[in-house]
Structures are given as C-alpha cells and as structure tokens.
A and B are shown apart, each in its own frame.
Chain A
C-alpha cells in the first residue's frame, strides 16, 4: 500500500478545507499538508452557495447585532461564546478573501457592497452577484496553489480514520482513478467534508453531499450533535430541489400563494411592507418561511401544478430585467434554462427543499473533537453557531472563520506530538482495505444500492420533514434499521478497480444510513419544537411548544455498533443572551425596543 506522511491531513477540499490548508501553510511552511478530496476541489459544494457571507460592514451595524440575530435565529441553541468569536472574526476573514482576489460586488465608490438577508437586522451579507460560494471557492482553490507545502490528493475518497494511542493519526483513502488504497499518516486530521442533506429526497444539494466525514467521526466514538436540525430552504425548484437564493428576497422579491397574496403576513412576519424591511415578511428566517409554506399547503392555498406538485410563487418581476441580470444572474439563467421562465416577466414556482445540516461533528470552540488530533470545520461540524436554525449567509462565513482557526490550531498541535508508529498504522490500514474491498468483490447479494438510497430518502422526507410526529418518526427509525440490514445484502454491478463509482456510492450510502439514523433518532428524542425541528404531537400537543426547562440542550448521538445510536443531551453555553420568545416582524421590533429600554 502506498504511504504518504503528512503533518496535517485535511479531508475535504471545499471552502473550509482549503482555508484550513492555507492557514497551516502560512502558520508554518515547514509542515506538510495533505489535502484529500473526492472531487477536484473547485467541484466541492461550496461552489453552489449563492447569496453571500455575513460580516459586519456598515457603520450603523455592530458585532452585538450580528450576535443577537444569530443566537435568536438559532432559537437559543447556539454556543454563545463561539458566536461572539465568530461575529468578531467574520469581517476580518471576508476582507482576507478580498485581498486574495474574491470579486465581491461593490458600491459605486469602489467599496465592498452588502445586501439584506433573512433574519439579519441590518444589511451585512457580502456577495459576489449570486455566485458567492463559487467565487469564494475558486479564490481559495487558486490561492492554495501558491503554497508548495499543500499536497493535493484530488479524487481520493476517504474511507476511514486511523486511531492509535488514543489519538487520530491519519486516514485511509481510495485513489479513485486506480481503485488502489493508500495510507496518509498525519499527526492531526481536519474533517471538512460538508453536509449530509442528500439523505433526503428533494434537496438543493450536489450528489457529493453524503455526510462522509460525519459518519467517519461518529464511528470513532465522536458525538454528532444537534442532528435533528435540518434546514428546509423555502425557495427551491420543484422536483430537482435546485436553489433560488434567499438574495431573491433580499433584493426585494415576494412570495405569494395561489390568490396572489403575500401569505407571510399571516405567520407572525407582518405587517406587509412596501419596501424590503429587515426581519419582516420575506426577510424572515428560513425555518419560519418553510413552515409557512407547509401551512399554506394544508390550507389549500398553494398552487397545484400538474407536474411540479404544490408550489407557491416567487415574484421578481417588479425588480426588472436590468437589476435581475446584475444582482441575480445565475437565478435568471437557471429559471430560463431549467424552467423555461423569464423571471422578469413571469413568477417562478417554488417549494421548500432540504438545504443544510445545522448539526454535525461535535467540536469545541477551537474546532477540536473529543478524539485528540481530530478537528472538524464547516457544515460537517457542530461548532455551535447555528443552533436550531442557521441564518442564511452565516455558513459561508463559518467556513473561512473556522477554517482559519482549525488550521492554526492543528499546526500548533502537531508540534507537540511525536510521530506515530507506521508499522502498526499500516496493519490497521490493511485491515480496512480488506473490509472495503470485500464490499466490492462479494457476490450473491440481491439488493441494488439505488433502491436502498431511494427508500432511505423517501423515508427521511416522510418522517423528518418540516413538521414531525412521533408515529412517522418511529416509522423512519424502523425503516432505517431495515435498510441497514438490507445493505448487508447488496450486490454491485461493477467489480472493476479503475473508477469504480458503483463501489464508491455504496460506501457513501453506508455513511448516509448512519447519518440518517442519527437525524431520525435525535429528532424523536427531542420532545419540543425549536427552530427547524417542529412537532405536531405530544400530550395536549405539548411538543408544539419550545420547552426550555427540558430541552435547552444539545442532542448528542453516539455510535453503537450494529444498533441505533444512543442519544444523550448536553448543556448549551449562554453568555449574554437569555432565551426569549422568538419573534419577527412588528412583534420582533417591539421586543427589540423593550430589550433596549430594559438595558438602559
């Protein structure tokens, strides 16, 4: 087996992984970095982020506002000390991207411009038209080429972590082009593999978003935290789930039902505003907007499209073609190409779809997991800034703020660590090779992986959708247990070595089943409604309410071999924001004023 020795191994070459790699390289050029990605880094799903990245920019804004928007937006399930660090570093890291060439959209006087975003009190979302993630990713990828100490392993698929002497000491990966396995030793490993939303059916996500890193850490005893919180984005293309950015609404777009009525005014987001107003109407947070979509559907006020199903309309017509082409060029093209719609002339049918995993690998405020030497960053991690509902544009900032931090921390950590025992690590790697190869070469199975994948996704949508009930969540838990069993009986069509994507997708499905189980079991154990986790049941429908007495807690899912996860609950760090009623629109403004008055 080929062996590569690195100081820091980074799994995942999206925005977070690349930022971490650059941080290690800048922190100490003598350290060797292995950047391992199952795709060429610029294909990573950061590329599809559209709207922008949040960081205080305007003189009328301040860090405290960003903090309160984030903590309230997360329904008080955020680690508040981590949020404080996050909002402080946000403008620094976004400026760093500017220095590296990120083509942020600008004002007439040449400064970086900011736009409005859902749940944000003041415009603070830095944007590069509606291709912010694309530009951030390409800027970071191209900048990373400058550093000779970053050794890339493109199209290498990580299949396990190496753990010895109680610490993480490297990984095993498949070189996808040859099918051969290699061991990459590292004194520390940073996981930056992104989210897991593809365990659902209708999602905004790319095929690669399969929760690989989450499952890897989980299997090594690290908790997956707050996995029940899965974000539905309110404006997705029906069937495919492709995303129409929140910036559509930040720029002034409306959401209307079949009567042409701006229905959000009925869901605590009004009263109606003529001009976009922060934290009102279409600029409310995503969980509330997706829930409003569901209620409209229940009331029979959605549009029933013969092909697309139940939809509402995203109306951008009043913005005019010129502004749409300037601010939302990708959205314009997508509406034209995929739906045959000119958004300057027609309304766009949309519905809610799965978009983001708020939970992930439990790490502390310095991105370190419970397994020494292991770090996690970005969507695969739960560092604690999103709580029960992420605000749009906080996650692009998260990848650079915590990418930088984890890179610095890992670079520091490896200096204090002795090299591992290569012979014994290799022994482990060879056992892993046997296990994974058996999955490919075994014969006699009868299950197709595509069938299991589809049943999993449908079941997740049925049981862990926008609104949840005990009965349907239990059905999903049971279904996942059944699929776990059936997975043992798979048969692959492709037994070859070179570019065996059948095999790789089977390994991904194995990861997905683990992650799906953590989501469903965390969900059924949270007997309250908070942020993106909304229940309709309980004695006297008690679970429809937030329950701070019992559930102002993080859920933690622990791996139990051959069984469902064990669910525990852990404390939430509160520094300066005590839980309040979470309100938007006029009620939110009133609550803000009262809070201000009481502090004087």
Chain B
C-alpha cells in the first residue's frame, strides 16, 4: 500500500429520530491514494460510527447508488478520489433537490414516479413474434438512440438542475433522456403517447437551458440535448395540431 495520510472529511449528518435539522460532523480518515470518497465513508462506518448511512453497491460507477454532493458538486462517490482533495478538507452531503431521509440517503420516490410515468418501454411500431427473430436496426437507426440508453439513474442531473429545485414536478433531465431514448428507437411507435407529457406543465418547457445536468452526468448521456430536442419537437407538435386533426406526432 502507498503511504498513509489523514484527510478531514466533513459529513452532513441527519437522523430524523433525534435531530431537528442536519448538521456537520468531522472525521479524520487515514487514506491511501487509491481510495475513493465512498471508501472514505465506508472507513468511517466500519471504524468510527456504524450509524453513518449512505447507499452504495457496485463500486464501479454503473449501479448508480452512491451519488452525493462532494464539495458542493453532485458526483458518484465511488469514482471520486480522496487524493484529489487532499490536503484540503472534503465535505460530503446528501444530493441537492431531494428530501433527506437520513445522512446521505435521499428520498428517490419522486424520481422513480417520473421514470415510471414516461412509458419507458417499447410500444411496438410493428409487433413481431419471437419466431420472426430480431428486429433489424441499421447503424444509423442504432446511433440515433444508443447514447440515451446509458443513463444509470444516479439522479446527479436532478441534484444539478436549478429548475428541479424550483418545480419538483418537472419531469427532469434523466427521465426526459430516457423518454427520448424510446422515442428515437426504430422499434418503438409510442412517441405520440409520450408527447403529451413532454409538452405538459411537468414537461420540457421547465428547462432553462443551463445544461449543468449534462456537465455532471457521469455517463455522458447529455440529457440537456434530449430535453432541447424535445422542446423543438413539442413546439412543432403544437403548431401541427392546427393542421392535422390527430396531432403532429405519429
């Protein structure tokens, strides 16, 4: 192991059963250069205070569990390293724009409801039996949606989004990127069903085009572009409604 140093980690603590409001607690954590912020939190839990509460699992930035504010920026703690902050103090807090349940654990039920609301599944354009084999998708068709399949639902983009902070009902960047993913898939014919939501009060018009969501996205999904493409689509849809009795989308 490399040389052991001590880093100060300040953690925003909150236990709803005993605390009136969240407060900071300081821990001095021995660390090596290979250790992530998540490993720092685990060290505290294992050695100093077993009541420190946070979500984690895969340790490799794919399960999406371990998002938190690290010195005020939403990040996955498993792929953020203590060495990059040392010798300064590091502060970890629950993700912004979500109610805190305990310590670093936030209430994600609102996000899950949004995700469920966008019909995140293939609504077949042309149904196909298993005997007929797979759908054929050209590289062009594939490239239209593949980027938007990479979202790991870590919700860092929600913690970053100023509009989610102002209007908690805003469907938000991550779910909108997923909606766009299905709309862009050549196997799918459900765009019209999803368009109502896109143009609704919870929809894309909430976005103020800050694009901080794309900046913090650990998987380069670029939810901001998904939102903005849909702003254009929703506008087009709105105007086409005057021309076509069934609305613009098909």
Contacts and interface: CB of A to CB of B under 8 A. Distances in A.
Interface stretch (B51-59, B204-212, B239-247): B51-59
Contact of B47 (A39, A111, A177, A450): A450
Interface string B64-91: 1100000000000001000000000000
A100 B122 contact: yes
A208 B1 CA distance: 26
Interface string A164-180: 00000000000001000
Contact of A338 (B54, B79, B130): B79
A40 interface: yes
Contacts of A104: 134
B79 A242 contact: no
B188 A502 contact: no
Interface stretch (B14-22, B23-31, B158-166, B221-229): B14-22
A330 B60 CA distance: 9
A108 B136 CA distance: 10
Given A206-B57, A242-B60, A502-B51, A96 B130 contact: yes
Contact of B62 (A39, A134, A450, A494): A134
A493 interface: yes
Interface string A138-179: 100011011000000010000000000000000000000100
A47 B58 contact: yes
A537 B103 CA distance: 51
Interface in B100-145: 101-103, 105, 107-108, 112, 115-116, 119-122, 124, 128, 130, 133-139, 141-142, 145
A500 B105 CA distance: 11
B196 interface: no
Contacts of B17: 496-498
A334 to B, nearest CB: 6
Of the four ranges (under 10, 10 to 19, 20 to 34, 35 or more), the interface on chain B belongs to: 35 or more
B46 interface: yes
Q: Give the residue among B51, B63, B120, B128 with the most A Cβ atoms within 10 A.
A: B63
B64 A42 contact: yes
Interface string A327-351: 0001001100110000000000000
A314 interface: no
Nearest to B129: A99
B79 A337 contact: yes
Contacts of B182: 101
Contacts of A108: 139
Contact of B185 (A47, A101, A110): A101
A242 B59 contact: yes
Main secondary structure of the interface of B (DSSP, over half): loop
Interface in B130-188: 130, 133-139, 141-142, 145-146, 149-150, 152-153, 178, 182, 185, 187-188
A260 B34 CA distance: 26
Contacts of B191: none
Interface in A90-105: 92, 95-96, 98-101, 103-104
Interface string A114-131: 000000000000000001
Contacts of B32: 307
A239 B101 CA distance: 32
B122 A101 contact: yes
Interface residues of A, number: 60
A554 interface: no
A112 interface: yes
A282 to B, nearest CB: 22
Q: Which of A143, A154, A500 has the most CB of B within 10 A?
A: A500
A192 to B, nearest CB: 16
B96 to A, nearest CB: 19
Nearest to B15: A496
B57 A207 contact: yes
Contacts of B79: 337-338
Contact of A307 (B34, B56, B124): B34
B130 A101 contact: no
Interface in A484-505: 492-494, 496-502
Contacts of B150: 131
A48 B115 CA distance: 21
Contact of B137 (A43, A110, A448): A110
Contacts of A99: 122, 124, 128, 130, 134-135, 187
B121 A95 contact: no
Interface string A536-553: 000000000000000000
Contacts of A43: 55, 57-58, 63-65
Nearest to B134: A98
A450 B149 contact: no
A450 B41 CA distance: 13
A103 B182 CA distance: 11
A43 B142 CA distance: 25
A201 interface: no
Contacts of B65: 39, 43
A449 interface: yes
A519 B112 CA distance: 38
A45 interface: yes
A590 interface: no
A240 interface: yes
B58 A45 contact: yes
Interface string A433-454: 0000000000000001110000
Interface of B: 1-2, 15-18, 32, 34, 45-47, 49-51, 53-65, 79, 101-103, 105, 107-108, 112, 115-116, 119-122, 124, 128, 130, 133-139, 141-142, 145-146, 149-150, 152-153, 178, 182, 185, 187-188
Closest 5 CB pairs of A and B: A493-B50, A494-B51, A450-B46, A206-B57, A110-B136
Given A39-B63, A98-B135, A502-B51, 15 more contacts: A42-B64, A45-B63, A95-B134, A106-B137, A110-B137, A142-B120, A142-B121, A145-B119, A145-B120, A240-B34, A240-B59, A337-B79, A338-B79, A494-B51, A499-B53
